[in-house]
Amino acid sequence: MTPAVLALVLTAAVLHATWNLLAKRAQAADTVAFVWLTTALSAAVYVPVVALWLFVAPLQHPITAVGFAFIAGTAVIHSAYFVLLQRGYRVGDLSLVYPLARGTGPLLASIAAVLFLGERPGLVGSLGIAAIVGGIFVAAGARLNARRARASIGYGLATGATIAAYTLWDKHAVSALVIMPVVYEIGHFCVQTLLMAPLVLRGTRRAALAPTWRAYRTELLGVAVLSPLGYILVLFALVVAPVSLVAPAREVSIVFGALLGARLFAEGDARRRVAGSFLILAGIVALARA
């Protein structure tokens, strides 16, 4: 990985941890209304930017029907990702949900490879899996029987599954299908806005839109700007670097998230949760090197 790619990935990690902090601050908001508003705002902010970009530098590779299918597919996966993550923050702690969500993607991918593809991880891979599992237990502590801890772990695992899915899906889109990362990312936000619209523009959830905007305007705008920007940087990195290097490097955000949650939200057990986050990060790096 070149220094330029590493700089992209580390910047993306900081942006990712920051917008997750803002999302956690909006934990009391209606989940679907908050997610839809951030998605719609992202599209509104970035569509003019992409239009100007394409005016100055037209696409060298037109998007095919398969490419549009991949944009629609990532919109579906990301819809599930954002809803699961926001609900996790509603019932759990940032310093627990965030590391679990970011760490379980590689773990689940490795377990699936063992169970369904007949792969047998070597010593380094096995140590990586053990480090992630150990990190989860260290971060959760002795309160696994507590409802809040169980909910955090459940949503973390579910969110991690969507992370694993969209990382592999998007890698193929921007590398094999040669879709420009900016167009791909903002296109997915446009499609996601349309997909989720029926859920929020009718019934009681429609009435939640205005109060959500008034109460969480700063958080909505922050997530809307930082979330696409951070992932666009990751997609540019994926164009020139293998996913096995980019995916674990961006997960340094796990430590940032644990620190922010423990300190800013006074969630307690800061040392233990940061230690667990370091274990999870070490496990991800080991899996990437296996």
pTM of the model: 0.84
- DSSP codes joined into one string, 27-68: TTS-HHHHHHHHHHHHHHHHHHHHHHHHHHS--SS---HHHH
**Using one digit for the tens of pLDDT, what is the confidence trace for 6-37?**
888 889 989 999 999 999 999 999 999 999 99
Cα 5 from chain centre: 19
**Using one digit for the tens of pLDDT, what is the confidence trace for 175-194?**
889 898 889 999 999 999 99
Give the range among 9-23, 225-239, 261-275 with minimum mean pLDDT: 261-275
Residue-range domain boundaries for the chain: 3-289
Percent of the chain scored above 70 by pLDDT? 91
Answer whether residue 217 shows pLDDT above 80. yes
